Structure 1
Amino acid sequence: MDTLQDLSFLLLELKLVSGAMGIIYLGAHASLRRPPSAAVSKDKKRQKQEDETFAQGLELSDAILFPVMAACVLVGLYYLIQWLQDPAIINKILRSYMTTMSMASLLTFYAHGIQVLTSFVFPRFWRGRDGKLRRVDQAKRAVAVCDDVGNELENPNNGATNPLPGALGFLVPMARMHNRVWNLRHLFTRHWLLEVFAHGMGKETAHVNFAHMLALLMAVVTAIVYFATSWPFLSNMLGYGMCYGSFLILSPTDFLTGSLVLWGLFFYDIFMVFYTPYMMTVATTLDVPIKLTYEAASRKSILGLGDIVIPGMVIGWALRLDLWIHYYRKIKYEATDLKILEKVSGSEETITRSETKYREVKTPYVDVKGNWGERFWIRRAFGLVAPRDLPPQVAASRFPKTYFYASMAGYLVGMLVTLAMLLVFKHGQPALLYLVPGVLGSMLLTSLVRGEFKELWMYTEDGSLDTIDVVVDLDGNGKAVKTIGKLEDGVVDTTKDDKKKEDEKDKEKSKEKKAEAAKDKKGHKVFFVSLEAPPEGGEEEDQ
């Protein structure tokens, strides 16, 4: 009997660990974006829209604010529970609040999940039974045979009309059904541009597709059913949604900031669990989606969302570090004959001299997200062997993820140690006591072993590394050792005179005032919502 109970407990903890690591894995990949070591992609309009969605990085002050705010909320909830003497009241209030607040995150979570499934059913590339690569052309409603890097070949087999890959193609063997499947593919892969404008508040734009509309319905149903039933499964789904959304919003600016935030919450967690009744009372009393709960027989296992989100945001940062290093190693330096403006020592005069310097050239960014289905369908030998050559859109996802896997391994070790301590002491454990050293220690150790501590320390998401047309001096190994300045119209001005920039800003403000004055004469829009649909075939660039 004891053996069966121990087995059920192990299965219970396996669900908990796999669920936590799974949502971190998905959230980290969803948080990927253009690193500062890569140039803006050719599709500048879309790249600009993606860059505008960047998360605001945490600052050093957050290392103090996070533990203080968490303590205030926790202590407040504890004394509110003691005062009300009825947890049902506060559970109902908090359940309403948390359900409403988690709707946006849950919608995003569902929408991205639907998009992943769509990529498996309607991929852009797949490999046929003959081993040849196919590429979908939605505008022509045809499937072309390509070489291994996605270039269309002149082949009699080009122009097939079945848009489903591999074995799925047998679901619609008749040609007359192909048109319906193309329409369905168009519905699931097409993007619309949603614009919302309010006078005095500005205009917001967003790309939406059918997945977002379906996800909105699913999120509303989940929230309503959970509020009516308090089903633990739906509580966990709301919790996963909040974790997923947090990974897209929260991000440590650099390794120092992430470390200080984690260490601050490390001591907070230890104090609240071991030396106060606050944490255990609130965690076991409140039945709201602020934790993951798994039950088996008479056993229950609980993991707070903070034990996922806090280490998880650093793990997501580690994955973006991997992407930055990947593009950082691709930076090239081109020799260029330049005119350099310099100040004369002890004088306000400037001199111009010609010299050969090196200009930093970054590789254009290729979106690494949304290729789950393509990476599966282009494999050889029944999906078991990955080909060496891939189309650029798919190959972009295949970059070294050293620090990400190291931090995930550290998180797994921390979770296993937490569970072991739970079994040994038969008492709730502060998970961050083991997770923080596991995550940070694994990243630091990896950097020291690989000799990349400098890269780990210098990578930041504050925008200072996102430079263009930088002129540098190189050492004998071809590495940049000194930044000379920024190249503008073939000239490098080292005097750092910002007068020109200020004049440009004044001109822009003057133009804005004139435009506003013109609007006042003609009248202005107060509020509008628009949904713009691109032409068929245009969605292929947006997948």
Structure 2
Amino acid sequence: MLLACCGTVATWLVTGHWVLNNLLGISICIAFVSHVRVPNIKICAMLLACLFVYDIFWVFYSERFFGANVMVSVATQQASNPVHTVANSLSLPGLQLITKKLELPVKIIFPKNLLGRVLPGTTAADYMMLGLGDMAIPAMLLTLVLCFDYRKSRETVSLMDLRSSKGQKYIWYAVTGYFVGLITALAAGVLTHSPQPALLYLVPSTLGPVILLSWMRRELSELWEGNPQSMNDKSRAAEV
């Protein structure tokens, strides 16, 4: 596994291929979601609401204040490839095979032609982009409801509950909304030929169904405040 990871990074440094960039970016996103937790949906909702406004401002309105679209300028900025710099200084053979610039794995990119091969001279304008933050922050909501579903499944439920809507897990609604939001964001970018704030679509499509469904099931307060019992258990364990 270690050799595969090192080989992937080394190949990306040499070629700068967009598929490897996406693979590294998704790995970073998975690592972030695996290690960062929010205690309840209240904090998650506040975070998503603030980033919802933040994303819309910097994509749609930053040009009016700063003379340029700041979000797009930052997202399309390429970095110098250190491997090419070292190879050039040492006059190593095969220098022409090493890419001079790299798209850093802080975003997921797709060629607009979607035919796979990226020709030499392709610029950032030829790509559709999706920031890792736009993927990772809503994914934190998914991990929250997944933990909530797991805890609820351990509680004793009656056969009537299993057959009712309460037997259906929140994670399926959240994952469906996440998928719909991603597809809608990408489709909006293709149809409008302009940058789109992905959180504009992801926040309503993920947070909305979870809050509405939990309110209908009278479980919103439990999701909103988290599980105080588990917090007490952790505190007692820490004291011991």
User: What does residue 434 of structure 1 align with?
Assistant: 201
Q: Rg: which structure is higher?
A: 1
* Identity in percent: 32
> Does residue 453 of structure 1 match 2:220?
yes
**Structure with the bigger percentage of helix:** 2
Rounded Cα–Cα distance in structure 1 between residues aligned with 2:178 and 2:55: 16
Rounded Cα–Cα distance in structure 1 between residues aligned with 2:188 and 2:206: 18
Moved more, 258-267 or 290-299: 290-299
Classify the secondary structure of the residue corresponding to 1:446: helix
Structure 2: which 5+ residue stretches go unaligned?
63-68, 79-102, 119-125, 158-166
Classify the secondary structure of the residue corresponding to 2:146: helix
1:279 to 49, 71, 74: 71
Change (3 A) 1:317 1:421: same
Change (3 A) 1:293 1:423: closer
2:54 to 268, 279, 282: 268
Rounded Cα–Cα distance in structure 1 between residues aligned with 2:3 and 2:187: 41
User: What does residue 32 of structure 2 align with?
Assistant: 246
> Does residue 228 of structure 1 match 2:14?
yes
User: What does residue 90 of structure 1 align with?
Assistant: none
Classify the secondary structure of the residue corresponding to 2:233: coil
User: What does residue 310 of structure 1 align with?
Assistant: 137
Rounded Cα–Cα distance in structure 1 between residues aligned with 2:29 and 2:153: 27
1:300 to 107, 123, 127: 127
User: What does residue 104 of structure 2 align with?
Assistant: 288
Rounded Cα–Cα distance in structure 1 between residues aligned with 2:140 and 2:170: 13
Classify the secondary structure of the residue corresponding to 2:108: strand
Rounded Cα–Cα distance in structure 1 between residues aligned with 2:225 and 2:54: 28
* Equivalent residue runs for 1:45-124 within 5 Å: none
Letter in 2 for 1:291: K
Change (3 A) 1:247 1:412: same
Return the offset for 1:467. Answer: 7.3
Classify the secondary structure of the residue corresponding to 1:293: strand
User: What does residue 204 of structure 1 align with?
Assistant: none
Return the offset for 1:306. Answer: 0.8
Rounded Cα–Cα distance in structure 1 between residues aligned with 2:40 and 2:129: 30
Letter in 2 for 1:323: Y
Preserved contact between residue 253 and residue 462 of structure 1 (Cα < 8 Å)? no
Letter in 2 for 1:409: T
> Does residue 259 of structure 1 match 2:75?
no
Letter in 1 for 2:194: H
Rounded Cα–Cα distance in structure 1 between residues aligned with 2:110 and 2:183: 16
Which whole-Å deviations, capped at 9, do the CAs of 1:357-414 have from their partners, x for residues lacking one?
xxxxxxxxxxxxxxxxxxxxxxxxxxxxxxxxxxxxxxxxxxx661111111221232
Which whole-Å deviations, capped at 9, do the CAs of 1:326-374 have from their partners, x for residues lacking one?
12347xxxxxxxxxxxxxxxxxxxxxxxxxxxxxxxxxxxxxxxxxxxx
Normalization by structure 2: what TM-score? 0.70
> Does residue 322 of structure 1 match 2:149?
yes
Rounded Cα–Cα distance in structure 2 between residues aligned with 1:272 and 1:421: 17
Rounded Cα–Cα distance in structure 2 between residues aligned with 1:271 and 1:280: 12
Return the offset for 1:460. Answer: 3.8
Rounded Cα–Cα distance in structure 2 between residues aligned with 1:232 and 1:251: 29
Normalization by structure 1: what TM-score? 0.32
> Does residue 404 of structure 1 match 2:165?
no
Return the offset for 1:424. Answer: 4.2
Preserved contact between residue 315 and residue 407 of structure 1 (Cα < 8 Å)? yes
Classify the secondary structure of the residue corresponding to 1:428: coil
Paired residue total: 188
Rounded Cα–Cα distance in structure 1 between residues aligned with 2:143 and 2:39: 12
Return the offset for 1:258. Answer: 0.6
Return the offset for 1:429. Answer: 0.5
User: What does residue 100 of structure 2 align with?
Assistant: none
Change (3 A) 1:465 1:322: farther
Change (3 A) 1:416 1:459: same
Rounded Cα–Cα distance in structure 2 between residues aligned with 1:460 and 1:254: 8
Change (3 A) 1:452 1:293: same
Rounded Cα–Cα distance in structure 1 between residues aligned with 2:229 and 2:20: 37
Which whole-Å deviations, capped at 9, do the CAs of 1:469-496 have from their partners, x for residues lacking one?
xxxxxxxxxxxxxxxxx9xxxxxxxxxx
Letter in 1 for 2:188: M
Return the offset for 1:418. Answer: 2.1
Letter in 1 for 2:138: P
Classify the secondary structure of the residue corresponding to 2:110: strand
Change (3 A) 1:225 1:423: closer
Rounded Cα–Cα distance in structure 2 between residues aligned with 1:313 and 1:462: 21
Return the offset for 1:278. Answer: 1.2
Return the offset for 1:449. Answer: 2.6
